[in-house]
């Protein structure tokens, strides 16, 4: 039962992080994806928790036609974080840097592919990515900062557990 309460609480926190006022894309979602395997090394957990949080928060924020292009990078990052999980700062740093890049490339490809605002050629794709740079910057800074905070929390928890033992 405590496990289920923990999952519900975690989903609630991720949902809340998306629906409270914040700069665009400045949320702990990507950092959360990196750290889910630290909480429970279970691929189902690493996929279901973020997708549930995204879906629930999208009910509040609003459903949109590009949800598939938002959820695909979430899945990709979930799998990468699960398979490359390791409690070393270099590994966490690499995931914190690569996750926003993955999200940026996939989600904005979907924007370009489905938008009448951009021409259906390389120039349109480049324009789409250039226009999305401010969103990427927020996402990257948030992922790195939240990943550092989560890593510090885990390190502190481990230190306190060994001090008690």
Q: 136 near 104, Cβ under 8 Å?
A: yes
Q: Confidence band (pLDDT; 50, 70, 90) for 165? A: very low
Within 8 A by CB and 6+ apart from 118, the residues are 111, 112, 124, 125, 127, 128
pLDDT tens digits for range 78-108: 999 999 988 788 999 999 999 999 999 999 9
Residue that wins the pLDDT comparison between 127 and 87: 127
Rounded Cα distance, 135 and 4, in Å: 33
Q: Comparing 36-40, 45-49, 92-96, 161-165, which segment has the lowest mean pLDDT?
A: 161-165
Burial zone of 125 (CB within 10 Å; 0-12 exposed, 13-18 middle, 19+ buried): middle
| SS3 of residue 102 by DSSP | helix
Q: How many whole angstroms from its chain centre is CA 88? A: 19
Kindly list the domain boundaries of the chain, sorted by start residue: 2-164
Q: Confidence band (pLDDT; 50, 70, 90) for 120? A: very high
Rounded Cα distance, 66 and 108, in Å: 10
Q: Comparing 68-72, 121-125, 154-158, which segment has the lowest mean pLDDT?
A: 154-158
């Amino acid at each position: 039962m405590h496990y289920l309460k923990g999952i519900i609480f975690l989903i609630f926190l991720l949902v809340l992080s998306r629906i409270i006022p914040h700069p665009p894309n400045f949320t702990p979602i990507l950092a959360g994806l990196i750290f889910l395997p630290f909480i429970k090394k279970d691929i189902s957990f690493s996929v279901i928790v973020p997708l549930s949080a995204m879906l629930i928060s999208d009910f509040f924020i609003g459903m949109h036609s590009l949800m598939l292009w938002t959820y695909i990078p979430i899945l990709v990052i979930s799998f990468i974080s699960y398979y490359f999980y390791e409690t070393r700062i270099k590994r966490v740093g690499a995931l914190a840097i690569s996750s926003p890049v993955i999200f940026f490339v996939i989600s904005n490809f979907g924007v370009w592919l489905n938008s009448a605002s951009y021409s259906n050629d390389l120039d349109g794709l480049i324009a789409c990515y250039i226009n999305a740079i401010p969103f990427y910057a927020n996402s990257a800074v948030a992922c790195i900062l939240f990943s550092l905070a989560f890593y510090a929390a885990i390190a502190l928890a481990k230190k306190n557990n060994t001090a008690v033992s």
